[in-house]
Amino acid sequence: MRAPGQLMSSWSALLCALGVLFSLFSFGFAVKENDFKKCHQSGFCKRNRDYADKAVAQGSSWQAPYKILPTEASFKDGLFQATILKTIDEEGTTVELPLTVAFHKSGTARVTVDEKRRQEKNIELRHSSQARKERYNEAEKWAIVGGTTVDVDAKTSYVGETGIKIQYGPDSTFEASINYNPYSIEFKRDGSAQLKLNDRGLMNLEHWRPKVEKPPAPEKKEGEENAEDKKEEPAPEPVGEDESTWWDESFGGNTDSKPRGPESVALDITFFGYEHVYGIPEHAGPLSLKETRGGDGAYTEPYRLYNSDVFEYILDSPMTLYGAIPLMQAHRKDSTVAVFWLNAAETWIDITKAKESKNPLSLGKGPKTNTQTHWISEAGMMDLFVFLGPTPRDVTKAYGELTGTTAMPQEFSIGYHQCRWNYVSDDDVKEVDRKFDRYQIPYDVIWLDIEYTDEKKYFTWDNDMFKDPISMGQQLDAHGRKLVVIIDPHIKNTGSYPVIDELKSNGLAIKNKDGKDFDGWCWPGSSMWVDCFNPAAIEWWKSLFKYDKFKGTMENTWLWNDMNEPSVFNGPEVTMPKDNLHYGSWEHRDVHNINGLTFHNATYQALLSRKKGELRRPFVLTRSFYSGSQRISAMWTGDNQASWEHLGAAIPMILNQGISGFPFAGADVGGFFGNPEAELQSRWYQAGAFYPFFRGHAHIDARRREPYLLAEPYRNIVTSALRLRYSLLPSWYTAFYQAHQDGSPIIRPMYWTHPSNEGGFAIDNQFFVGSTGILVKPVVEQGKTTEDVYIPDDEVYYNYFTYQRLPTAKGQTLTVDAPIESIPMFMRGGHIFPRRDTPRRSAQLMKFDDYTLVVVIGKDGTAEGQLYTDDGDSFDYQKGEYIHRTFKLEGSKLTSTDADGRDPKSIKGGSWLKNMRNVAVDKIVIIGAPTSWADKKEVRLEAGGKQSTVKLEYFKGDASRGPFAIVGRVGASIGADWAIEFA
Ligand code: NOJ
């Protein structure tokens, strides 16, 4: 969203400000779609789509011009190396493209293709550019952290003139079959083809060529200007290739000088027999990605990845948004495979689904669907990873090994966050804090948007409105609460501001194409951008956050990084010119999608070093992200709207983040733009209570809407949703831990939890919370009092609140009551999950509360679950200071044991662990307790080598409640082994 900045000295700035003002007042709630390119306006996208059309039109006579000479190929120690020759003219002239296929111990395979001539820097740059000559090859520095140890045991099963077959992966069940002419690679698992690179021969790597100046076109005489428009005579066919977008390209009044000429990389990838593909966030559309070129309900544009400040974004669209994760998973019954396209430049992805012609022998079975994808990036080398599954869990795990898993969060950060643009003063913040308490509504964090600063100069405070930030921070701290302040990457270009002086004098700003500090327009008016690709910039950035430098901040102050796509109001597509230069002389074009990550990384590093000797987990929220961002931040889905449609759209978006390795995700609860009516706001809190990142936020023009302002019954409804979230914090924290361990999503879609159940593959409006077995289907439609919920298996399911059992309905959709005061929420049999049932003001104040365990007995009479907890703040968990329990109900015995097999007595630790010794399992609720327990009054507990009895109460159920049992006042220490015998 734009707001008027300050007047600047130059006319251009004034015009820009007027444009900004105009856009502010001219908005209806619709994205300015025309501010952003369509494929045909992005030269390389159009060229590659045209290339694909040409290939498809030629059918089987299409000859892909890429081949490998067998004599030049070698395979040794898990690495296949060759040169791909690209034939570039009728005479057979070729260019050399070095290829490496690496087979990793982790089971992934990596395929990289570069261009020899650019590798050797043997090209000429135009316009005296200072840019690097190579294709960008440093994306891995930012995205990859492991999983690339080469598997020296990978072996060939065939070597011949036409190609080579390499077996690798678990028990050598994976195979890469590299075909030499035309070049393609087919990947198999257990002998069956899963996916193929260059299957349709659409691979295209635009090689370097010098610009051949053509004689200028004859000048038009007066009156001839619109000659083309008259279309009386067709224009003559241009000779040779269409170079119109090779050497420079204009859009929206900005011209990209493209000093290296055309250099796109494109490849088609076919997934055999796969009807569903998921991933490649960030887009506002369904989880199961749509076709982009024909087909029912298809989009007409490819999915685009070019991180952008797309305010008021449209829904059900392949349009780019703020972040990019180029990971795509393909799924069919019992099989998942994936591709990770490691490229940081503007990228477009076309998806089509092709039915194979029906095999007359496949009696009754429908024809197979292949999903065909076409990946097109503007620059960089071709670099991709192939995952062969076979389960969704295998893929997310392997991707987690590669790019890292979500960080263990600050415990407070999984509580509720209260934000708006803006809380206007320190008194305002204190008052909001008091009101939450007065109405007994829990929250953990209050946020300050850009207006807290002195004229948008970050690291300063507006001295009139925020006279005493420390006393504000202290009031919050008294109840264990935190403050998050925003710091954006644009630095106000103005006098008497040390931050800009230091940025300039240290040479740490992003440069324009001429090597001068780039100056653009953002919130503060004229601004410069810190170049966080530069290690020196990170060091400098760190210095700005020290408590004694950024005065007014304290131990409970944390950070929000916004506008880091980067958003540049007067730049092409609201971002930076592509020919801007970064550290290492890389063009912005090369690194654009990683830019946001480098910024929030610098902030993360800064938070690690605010004070000597203080080492705590940073909390940073980012708007822009790339693969790897999950290791160091949380994200939210940007500027949504207070509409029912946006409430609905947020769920597939957050699910998509989860399966794409970045599960610490949320959407602005209540909607950023506009004013939600009470029903919408209530439903949004009910849904938001299940976002891994749970924050209410509102635009500066939106009315105040802190939950306590709602009239009854809505205030109570929202308070209940918040308390529900808080009671389940132990389960959420455990789900974060699991995500941290193996990359698993925190909220999980049906295909991920039930990969065999085809009915669930397209469902993206309900989910499970971690491994708790809690199934949620938020209501996202106005006036609804019932909700349809899909049951993915034949386990028993119970209503979360009434314990009533749902009818068995595997693969069916059940209609359940969902009046405004209730959330459709169910418990799947077979799970045990932890809760803390005493409502308090903040997560911090619940830290040493006793636990409740909920045991939901499964069809077979068993149940199992976990609890993970640690101090929620330091890195001591890495030294073993944590509690990780497995709870199991088997036969008539419920046990708690260390999930990692440690002897609890051997675990040494500091004050947190000591305090936890006094934290107990207080209550155990057993859902689906057998009627044979009806007469039981007590059960036997064995804890710490001692036997005792504890009370059991059995409720046989009535019209409003299902049967259950409660074991009360158990008293066993949460970290200790114990067992309860029910027999
Ligand atoms: C844009 C962000 O998306 C929004 O959340 C924020 O309030 C504004 N910038 C102002 O900082």
Residue 88 has pLDDT above 50, yes or no: yes
Q: Which of 837, 842, 866 is nearest to 974 (CA)?
A: 866
| CA 347 to ligand 1 centroid distance, Å | 25
Q: How far apart are the C-alpha atoms of 55 and 63, rounded to whole Å? A: 8
Cα 672 to averaged position of ligand 1 atoms, centre (Å): 9
Q: How far apart are CA 95 and CA 580, in angstroms?
A: 29
d(CA 303, CA 728): 36
Compute the distance from residue 623 Cα to the ligand 1 centre, in Å.
9
Per-residue pLDDT tens over the stretch 435-452: 999 999 999 999 999 999
For residues 662 and 361, the answer to whether their CB atoms sit within 8 Å is no
Ligand 1 centroid vs 422 CA: distance in angstroms? Answer: 10
Give pLDDT tens digits for 467-488.
999 999 999 999 999 999 999 9
Q: Is 472 helix (H, G, I), strand (E, B) or coil?
A: helix
**What is the SS3 assignment for 53-98?**
HHHHHHHHHCCCCEEECHHHCEEECCEEEEEEEEECCCCCCEEEEE
pLDDT band at 432 (very low <50, low <70, confident <90, very high): very high
Chain segment 919-974, per-residue pLDDT in tens: 999 999 999 999 999 999 999 999 988 999 999 999 999 888 989 999 999 999 99
Average pLDDT, the chain: 93
Q: Which two structure tokens, joined as six digits, stand for 628?
A: 């790897």
Pocket test for ligand 1, best of 424, 449, 621 (most atoms within 8 A of CB): 449
Give the Cα separation of 523 and 545 in Å (integer): 21
Atom of ligand 1 nearest to the CA of 638: 3
Is the CB of 623 within 6 Å of ligand 1? yes
The number of residues making up the chain comes to 983
**Sole residue written with tokens 């008052």:** 431
- Residue 23: CB atoms within 10 Å: 16
What is the pLDDT at residue 118? 98
The answer to whether the beta carbons of residues 166 and 27 sit under 8 Å apart is no
Superfamily of domain 46-208+260-358+366-403: glycosyl hydrolase (family 31) (2.60.40.1760)
**Could you tell which of 1, 20, 23, 668 is best to mutate to test the pocket of ligand 1, judged by most ligand atoms within 8 Å of the CB?**
1
Say if residues 710 and 681 touch (Cβ distance below 8 Å): yes
Are both 46-208+260-358+366-403 and 413-487+534-689+697-708 of the same fold? Answer: no
Name the token pair of 459.
Answer: 């690291």
Q: Tokens 């329990």 sit at which residue?
A: 885
Please give the helix or strand (H or E) that residue 12 lies within, else none. helix 11-26
Q: Are strands 786-791 and 797-799 parallel, antiparallel or unpaired?
A: unpaired
Tell me the pLDDT tens digit for each residue of 821-852. Answer: 999 999 999 999 999 999 899 999 999 999 99
Q: Is the CB of 449 under 6 A from ligand 1?
A: yes
Among 366-370, 553-557, 700-704, name the one with the lowest average pLDDT: 366-370
% of the chain exceeding 90 in pLDDT:
89
Which residue from 103, 188, 202 is spatially nearest to 154, judged by alpha carbons?
Answer: 103
CA atoms in the 13 A half-sphere facing the CB of 719: 19
CB of 450 within 6 A of ligand 1: the answer is yes
Q: Is the CB of 569 under 6 A from ligand 1?
A: no
Residue 28: pLDDT over 60? no
CATH of 413-487+534-689+697-708 among 3.20.20.80, 3.40.50.300, 3.50.50.60, 1.25.40.10: 3.20.20.80
Model pLDDT, residue 30:
56
pTM of the model: 0.95
Q: How far apart are CA 258 and CA 262, in angstroms?
A: 8
In the set 175, 268, 462, 565, the catalytic residue is 565
Domain boundaries, the chain: 46-208+260-358+366-403, 413-487+534-689+697-708, 750-981
pLDDT at residue 360 is higher than 80: no
**CB of residue 666 inside a 6 A radius of ligand 1:** no
Res. 14: pLDDT tops 50: no
Of 336-350, 880-894, 900-914, minimum mean pLDDT range? 900-914
According to DSSP, residue 874 is labeled B
What digits encode the pLDDT tens for the residues 798-816? 999 999 999 988 999 999 9
Q: Is 562 in the pocket of ligand 1 (CB under 6 A)?
A: yes
Is 639 in the active site? Answer: yes
- Which whole number is the average pLDDT over 44-69? 96
In short, whether 696's Cβ falls inside 6 Å of ligand 1 is: no
- The answer to whether the CB of 639 is under 6 A from ligand 1 is yes
Residue 922 among the catalytic residues: no
How many angstroms is it from 432 CA to the middle of ligand 1? 20
- How many Å apart are CA 104 and CA 169, to the nearest integer? 8
Taking the C-alpha atoms of residue 155 and residue 78, their distance in angstroms, rounded to an integer, is 7
Output the six-digit token pair for 735: 């789900």
> Which position has the token pair 């140890």?
149
What mean pLDDT is predicted for residues 726-733?
98
What are the structure tokens assigned to 337, written together? Answer: 């495979």
Question: Which pair of tokens denotes residue 507?
Answer: 């040479």
pLDDT (average), residues 412-424: 98
Residues 495-544 have pLDDT tens digits of: 999 999 999 999 999 999 999 999 999 999 999 999 999 999 999 999 99
Pocket test for ligand 1, best of 419, 422, 563, 635 (most atoms within 8 A of CB): 563
- One-letter identity of residue 392: P
CB 536 within 8 A of CB 462: no
Q: Partners of 335 in the beta sheet?
A: 332
pLDDT of 977 reads: 96
Distance CA 843, CA 93 (A): 67
697 Cα nearest atom in ligand 1: 5
- State the sign of the Cα–Cα–Cα–Cα dihedral 646, 651, 656, 662: positive
Answer yes or no: 33 catalytic.
no
Q: Given this model, what pLDDT does residue 576 score?
A: 97
Q: In the 8-state DSSP scheme, what is residue 513?
A: T
Q: Is the CB of 522 under 6 A from ligand 1?
A: no
pLDDT score recorded for residue 228 = 44
**Topology annotation, domain 750-981:** Immunoglobulin-like (2.60.40)
- Chain position carrying tokens 């400098």: 540
Rounded-to-integer distance, Cα 61 and Cα 209, Å: 27
115, 249, 346, 639: which is the annotated catalytic residue?
Answer: 639
Q: How many CB atoms lie within 10 A of CB 477?
A: 16
For residue 419, the ligand 1 atom closest to its alpha carbon is 7
Sign, Cα dihedral of 570, 576, 579, 584: positive
Residue type, 782: Q
User: Is residue 283 pLDDT above 70, yes or no?
Assistant: yes
DSSP helix, strand, coil percent of the chain (3-state; round to 5):
25, 25, 50
Q: What is the dihedral of CA 969, 972, 974, 977, to 10 degrees?
A: -150
Mean pLDDT computed over 634-660: 98
The Cα–Cα gap between 584 and 589 comes to 13
User: Which of 842, 802, 838, 841 shows the shortest CA–CA distance to 821?
Assistant: 802
Beta bridge partners of 483: 446, 557
CA of 659 to the centre of ligand 1 (A): 26
Q: What 3-state class would DSSP assign to 194?
A: strand
CA of 467 to the centre of ligand 1 (A): 23
Gyration radius from the chain CA atoms? 29
In the set 449, 562, 573, 668, the catalytic residue is: 562
CA pair distance 624, 634, nearest whole angstrom: 10
- Contact between residue 685 and residue 709 where contact means Cβ atoms under 8 Å apart: no
Quick one: pLDDT at residue 356? 82
State in Å: Cα 914 to ligand 1 middle.
42
Take residue 367 and report the two structure tokens written for it: 């024809």
For the segment 619-639, the average pLDDT, to the nearest whole number, is 98
Determine the Cα–Cα distance for residues 464 and 662; give it in Å rounded to an integer. 39
